[in-house]
Each structure stands twice: as structure tokens, then as C-alpha cells.
Structure 1
Amino acid sequence: MDTKIKKRYNRIAKVYDILESPMESGFSRWREKLLSEVKGKTLEVGVGTGKNLTYYPGNIDLTGIDFSENMIERARRKSGNKPNVRLMVMDAEKMDFEANTFDTVVTSCVYCSVPDPVQGMKEMKRVCKPGGRLLMLEHVRSNHKMVGKLMDWMNPIPLHLYGANINRETYENLLKAGFEPNDITIKHLWYDIVLLIKVNIKK
């Protein structure tokens, strides 16, 4: 766990939703689309302040983790202490869960800030049951030459402010984590930068 990034997210937790509000009009409909496909026992990695909580079906068993204590505290307030929702502080790169625990694993705008994204993805694969799915809403580096270079040039700014990268190559990282191309489906939501990624789990 990167303690510097953790401290940054603990520090901005109180104003995080305000900082993200300009983008939320677009992301809210994408969150709804992502979470409409959730089934069974579900894990959300990087639950943050709990922005997704209102979009989940009411009949699922949900566990949310985040490495920021202050983010989890904000999420708990939004959850309303629902009995089917458990929120806990945990490192995405080293989860405490047993293998093959969850039917669905969800992320949304998380893999920009996981220090070792490949290790985090390996952990998601480990805790998801065979036949389960990963559902990911992520922003990534553009494949367009000039746009990609611009994102590389700008990346130090959000990395310094929030510990977030805007030029992560998430598809390539999934392959490095051991997922097969045929098991990965990608839908472009906003150009080739915001993606809905679905991964079938085979073991």
C-alpha cells in the first residue's frame, strides 16, 4: 500500500464529491449501466465515498473496500447501515478474503490510483468465483497518438494532487494479470478514454 496516496485520499475525503461533481452528470448514467448487471455476492474494490451505493440492486449481498479510512467513513453514512452492505478498510493489492468468494467484482475509476494495478487485478481474479465476472468502469490512456502523448504530459498533475494516473493502460494490465483476450469485452463510453470493461472469470 502506498502510504502517500492513502494520506492524500484521507485528506480530500471531505471534499472529494465536490471535486468530482463536474464530471458526475456523465458518470452517473454510466454507473447505472455498470451496476445493472451485478449479480450475487458482490465486491466493490475502491468503494470510495460510496457514490455507487444507490445504484446497486436492493437484493444483493454487497461488500465494499477502500484503503482510505476517511473515504469508508463517508461511504458508511451513505449506506444507511443497511444489513446487506458491509464496508471495510482493506488494501486492493492484498485482500483478506478467501479465494472464490464473490460472484461479481466491481470497480469504477479505481485503477487510476492502485499503485500496482496488475497485482490488484490478480487479487480480483483470486477472490472472484469461476463463472463470475469483473465489471469495470475505468478511464484509460487514449490510443490516439497525440491525445495519448498529451495525457502522458499532463499525468504528473493529477498524480501529484490525488495520486491518480490519467494514462493507465488497463486492458494491457488485465492481460499482464493473466486474463485472456477472449474473456474481455470492452465498450467505449466516451471516445476511447472511458470504458466499460467486462471480464469473464475462468480458472
Structure 2
Amino acid sequence: MNDKDVAQGSVASSQKPIRPDPAATAHTRHRYDLWASVYDWAEWPAEQLLFRKWREQLLAPVEGPEILELGVGTGKNVPYYPDDAQVTAIDLSPEMVARARRRTQQSPEKTITVREMDVQALDFAEGQFDEVVASMVFCSVPDPVLGLREAIRVTKPGGRLRLLEHMRATSPALGRLMDRLDAPVHWMGGMHIARQTVENVRRVGWEIEEETSLTHADIFRRIVARKPK
């Protein structure tokens, strides 16, 4: 699979790598290690205006009790989990993991374990979790289809996937612009801006129950899907 296919989250290829691409994974880890110290500061305006509300809406219906969060970042979702949930949160970046662990210490009433791990190669048993959550993560997973396959593997039959994601715009002109900018944005920041995440979720076998557009041209969307029983 070439870089353009990965950048746009292509759903056309039938040959996916069995294991993550080490070079692509290392690039993403390095970029987020670099971002970690300024990540919260850089996102502060968007967090206050939009993201905080969207996180709360994403996590309000979560029941668990066994919950897996993919790409915990600096731990911004921590305040929105129910107190009785058993949350395992992972991230590829050790610098992000360190910050997320510090944030969990501010919510001692919650049971949250933070581990360094790659979503493309989860070290969990099949069917271990009731629900899987991710917020703005599959824009940066090097192989998003592989990551979503791992997510469905570790989810119990009937369990849910809850995503808050940004992806390629449905507006043709804006979508083409995002395609052109995707490669340089990925090189600088580690994330892609032209992923087709809804199609990728369907491709690996999740049954989509809800798809909610949150902004113009569907760039930000909330997705709720279920693993078939």
C-alpha cells in the first residue's frame, strides 16, 4: 500500500499488512512525543469552544463496565468517564502516556489504567472489552483499517465502538484541498486530514448505529457502531 492510500485511509485495497509498518509507526510516535509538551496549549481554544462539549456527548452514554480507550493522548477524556467504569487507556507515545497518567491522578475516584501500546497491535484478549472509545485518533493511526480490526477483535460481541473523529470533507472542493495538504500535514504533525473513517469502520465489520455530523462539510463526526453478535 502506498503512502497516498494510507494518508487517505483507502478502502479499496484488499491486501492489508498483517503487522504495522515499523517506519510509519515510528514517525507517528516521534511526532506525538514532540507535540506532547505543547499539545494541550495548542488545542486549548478548540477544546474550550467545541471539543469539550463533544467529548461529554461521546462519553455520556458509556456503560462499560470494561472500557478501552484508544489514543488517550494527554487524558482529556478522563473527567467524562463514569466513576464506576473500569477504563484501560493506551497510547503509542510514551510522552503522552506520562501526561495522561498525571491527569488520572487528578481523578482518584475513577479506575483508569494507562499503558503504552500500539492500537495496530493490541496486547489484549479477544472479546475483552464491553466498549471501545477513541477521540480524534484514527486520523493518526498509521494503518487505520488494521487499528479498527484490532478494536473489533478485542470487543465483546454486541459491544460498541464510540468515535469522535475528523476526516475528509464531503464538500468536493474542500475534500480535494484536504487531499493535497494531507501529506505535508502528516509529515509535520503525524496526523492525516483526508481519512475516510466511516468507510473504514464499515469495512472491518462494525455495524454503524449512528453517524452525526458536527461541523460544516462533515469534517468532524461522531460515530457509534456495534460489533455483530
- Distance in 1 of aligned mates of 2:148 and 2:75: 21
Aligned partner of 2:169 in structure 1 is 142
Distance 1:131 1:179, change over 3 A: closer
Residue 157 of structure 1 deviates from its aligned partner by 3.3
Aligned partner of 1:153 in structure 2 is 180
Residue 160 of structure 1 deviates from its aligned partner by 1.6
Q: How many positions carry a matched residue from both structures?
A: 201
Q: Secondary structure at the match of 1:158?
A: helix
1:11 to 25, 28, 34: 34
TM-score for the superposition, normalised by structure 1 = 0.95
Aligned partner of 1:64 in structure 2 is 89
Q: Is 1:30 matched up with 2:57?
A: no
CA contact (8 A) 2:68 2:88 kept: yes
Alignment RMSD (CA, Å): 1.3
- Distance in 2 of aligned mates of 1:20 and 1:55: 18
For residues 146-179 of structure 1, the C-alpha deviation after alignment (integer angstroms, 9 at most, x for no partner) is 0101111222332122110011000111122223
Supply the AA of the counterpart residue of 2:89: G
Q: Secondary structure at the match of 1:37?
A: coil
Q: Secondary structure at the match of 1:155?
A: helix
Percent identity, aligned pairs only, is: 43
Aligned partner of 2:9 in structure 1 is none
- Distance in 1 of aligned mates of 2:197 and 2:30: 24
Q: Is 1:200 matched up with 2:223?
A: no
Aligned partner of 1:55 in structure 2 is 80
- Distance in 1 of aligned mates of 2:71 and 2:100: 11
- Distance in 2 of aligned mates of 1:153 and 1:122: 27
In the TM superposition, 1:177-192 aligns within 5 A as 177-180=204-207, 183-191=208-216, 192=218
Residue 184 of structure 1 deviates from its aligned partner by 3.8
For residues 20-57 of structure 1, the C-alpha deviation after alignment (integer angstroms, 9 at most, x for no partner) is 11211211100000010111210100001001101111
Deviant stretches of 4+, over 4 Å: none
Consecutive unaligned residues in structure 2, runs of 5 or more: 1-21
In the TM superposition, 1:108-127 aligns within 5 A as 108-127=135-154
For residues 166-198 of structure 1, the C-alpha deviation after alignment (integer angstroms, 9 at most, x for no partner) is 110001111222234xx3420111121110000
- Distance in 2 of aligned mates of 1:23 and 1:161: 20
